[in-house]
Amino acid sequence: MRTSEFYAYGALTVVESIWWFSIFAIVGTLLGLGGSPIPWFPLFLLVAFGMASAWVFGGDKFNISSRAIYQAAFALGVVYFAVACTSVGETWSFKVAWPVDMFGGTYGSKGAADLVIATIGASFMWYRTQSLFGGGDPARRLSRGFKIGTVFIIFTLFVELNVGFDIGIKPVLIPFFGASLIGLAVSRLPRTEEQVRTQWMAVIGVSVLAILGAGAIGGALTARYGNIGVTALLNIWGAFVDALLWVLRYPIELVMRGMWAFILWLQNVFGSGEEVEKELTTVSPLSQDLMNEASDRAEDSVNYAVDAIRWPLSIILLVVLFFIFIFAYRRFSRRFNAQDDLDRESIRGDADTKADMMKLLSSLVPRWMRGRGDRSAWRFPDAETGVAEAFLLYFDTLSHAIKRGMLFDPNVTPNERLSALHVFLPGAPVDLVTSRFNAACYGNEPSNLDDLDQLREAVERVAEQPNSK
């Protein structure tokens, strides 16, 4: 396992344990158990041991029967001791004989529920760790875990705010965001043995420290001075909304005055009885008295209308502000990602740190927020030097052939496509190009960069010749 993958899986262990801890905390709180049955640190150790067992017992190190026996025994021990760390009641203690105590009636109904939920949760988490490690691609799983975990953590904070007691989510906020950012950054570093640029490490360090530092300082100020900062932001936002309502009040008032004047005029004109006939003979439909009465009634209507649109206006403003931020982010990121699909600087180690940082940030937001820039039809992996270049050479060869009239069928294998490449690129070393692509694609075998450059020059010479087809 490469160093970058090791750190990525370590970060994934922290992130997965925290966001699943938040789910257990929500379930335990809603069931009246006072929070998560399993504390976070034992849950973290369970996930870590699960990852380690998947690495140790995976592959071809053991035969199938021995691997199943060893892994089952190891899983039983880890799950057993994880449940032994369950918080039963108000205090935490390590209970080695928890099955005896549970079936012997030592604990009440809540204690038994704690142990049952902890057993189910620990068994599920062990199963999940095996799929996490076996699935590979820790960067993608980290990105997904960050997004889903953020949603559950926010919901857990709301639950904690409503129940009025601590359910243990606040202490894990900084580890969650720190592990997410560090893991996503490290997983994008070069996977070769070449030295990582010092500038990259500075970007990772400064970015993570700035984000976590701002959060820690904000949390410390909130703990020391209460919710002064939040209250100040709410007051500023309220003043902004009040200013908009003050501006909107005048057109609303004019509309209300006109509406009430029209209603009162209709009442005076189309009313019934002798009183109306008297009013028609003594009061003009557009008299000053009628306008004064319309103004008085409009005042109450305006106040009601302003109060009624306050919250809808606030929501609309927040939505508008949200999309303004999305638009600004897209414009800013587009400056550094114009060559997004052809950038291979991170593979070689001489990355453009600004562009790579924007790619890292873009992985933290949903796809629909990233915009729809021009995307290449070709995909090649973040692999060691000589592998990605072989992919790119083959894709460029296909592009030249397509421009000369070849129909691209994605269901055809590279070897089956050789005859078509010979027809549309006659004289080009398409056999060697395809061979190098197959070696890189199916065997992860790097090619010599000088050889690839010579093949590229030969293909481009043929592509520049007039097309006889």
181 and 252 co-located in one domain: no
What is the per-residue burial (b if ≥16 Cβ within 10 Å, else e) of 129-151? bbebbeeeebbebbbebbeebbe
Find out whether 202 and 27 touch, Cβ atoms under 8 Å. Answer: no
316 and 440 co-located in one domain: no
Query: What's the pLDDT band for 219 if we cut at 50, 70, 90?
Result: low
- Does residue 24 surpass a pLDDT of 70? yes
- The pLDDT mean for the chain works out to 74
- Does residue 107 surpass a pLDDT of 80? no
Higher pLDDT, 258 or 395: 395
Q: What is the pLDDT of residue 18?
A: 92
Among the candidates 187, 205, 240, a domain finishes at: 187
328 and 454 co-located in one domain: no
Q: What is the pLDDT of residue 55?
A: 81
Contacts of 287 (CB under 8 A, 6+ apart): none
Give me the number of domains the chain comprises: 3
Cα–Cα distance between 228 and 235 in angstroms, integer?
A: 10
Q: What is the pLDDT of residue 434?
A: 92
296 and 392 co-located in one domain: no
Indicate whether this model's pTM tops 0.75: no
Q: Both tokens of residue 156?
A: 């857990």
**Quick one: average pLDDT of 385-389?**
81
- Does residue 322 surpass a pLDDT of 70? no
Structural domain boundaries enclosing 259: 232-336
Residue type, 373: G
**Quick one: average pLDDT of 26-38?**
83
Higher pLDDT, 54 or 277: 54
54 and 179 co-located in one domain: yes
134 and 50 co-located in one domain: yes
- Does residue 341 surpass a pLDDT of 60? no
Q: What is the pLDDT of residue 1?
A: 54
Whether 221 is covered by a domain: the verdict is: no
- Does residue 89 surpass a pLDDT of 80? no
Higher pLDDT, 234 or 13: 13
Whether 207 is covered by a domain: the verdict is: no
Among the candidates 133, 167, 187, a domain finishes at: 187
Contacts of 447 (CB under 8 A, 6+ apart): 386, 387, 389, 390, 436, 439, 440
Cα–Cα distance between 226 and 85 in angstroms, integer?
A: 33
Find out whether 356 and 188 touch, Cβ atoms under 8 Å. Answer: yes
CA atoms within 13 A on the CB side of 165: 11
Whether 218 is covered by a domain: the verdict is: no
**Quick one: average pLDDT of 158-172?**
81
Whether 15 is covered by a domain: the verdict is: yes
Higher pLDDT, 461 or 255: 461
- Does residue 195 surpass a pLDDT of 50? no
Query: What's the pLDDT band for 21 if we cut at 50, 70, 90?
Result: very high
- Does residue 449 surpass a pLDDT of 80? yes
Cα–Cα distance between 16 and 26 in angstroms, integer?
A: 16
**Weakest mean pLDDT among 57-66, 96-105, 195-204:** 195-204
Q: Both tokens of residue 400?
A: 């030249």
80 and 163 co-located in one domain: yes
Whether 306 is covered by a domain: the verdict is: yes
Cα–Cα distance between 272 and 292 in angstroms, integer?
A: 23
- Does residue 102 surpass a pLDDT of 60? yes
82 and 183 co-located in one domain: yes
Whether 204 is covered by a domain: the verdict is: no
In tens, the pLDDT along 398-418 reads: 988 888 888 887 778 888 888
Q: Is the dihedral angle over the CA atoms 183, 187, 193, 195 positive or is it negative?
A: negative
Residue type, 147: K
126 and 263 co-located in one domain: no
Query: What's the pLDDT band for 349 if we cut at 50, 70, 90?
Result: very low
Contacts of 39 (CB under 8 A, 6+ apart): 85, 87, 92, 168
**Residue among 310, 287, 289, 293 nearest 256 (CA):** 293
Q: What is the pLDDT of residue 304?
A: 72
CA atoms within 13 A on the CB side of 316: 7
**Quick one: average pLDDT of 249-277?**
69
Dihedral of CA atoms 91, 92, 93, 95 in degrees, nearest 10, equals 100
**Quick one: average pLDDT of 227-247?**
72
DSSP 104: T
**Weakest mean pLDDT among 49-58, 60-69, 148-157, 366-375:** 366-375
325 and 400 co-located in one domain: no
172 and 292 co-located in one domain: no
**Quick one: average pLDDT of 127-155?**
82
**Weakest mean pLDDT among 67-76, 111-120, 375-384:** 375-384
Find out whether 404 and 463 touch, Cβ atoms under 8 Å. Answer: yes
**Quick one: average pLDDT of 441-467?**
86
Whether 379 is covered by a domain: the verdict is: no
**Weakest mean pLDDT among 74-83, 232-241, 414-423, 455-464:** 232-241
The CA distances from residue 464 to 42, 405, 418, in Å, are 64, 14, 20
DSSP 170: G
Whether 159 is covered by a domain: the verdict is: yes
- Does residue 120 surpass a pLDDT of 70? yes
Query: What is the C-alpha radius of gyration for the chain, rounded to an integer number of angstroms?
Result: 34
- Does residue 187 surpass a pLDDT of 50? yes
- Does residue 156 surpass a pLDDT of 80? yes
Dihedral of CA atoms 386, 4, 147, 220 in degrees, nearest 10, equals -140
Number of alpha helices (DSSP H) and beta strands (DSSP E) in the chain: 17, 2
180 and 262 co-located in one domain: no
- Does residue 75 surpass a pLDDT of 80? yes
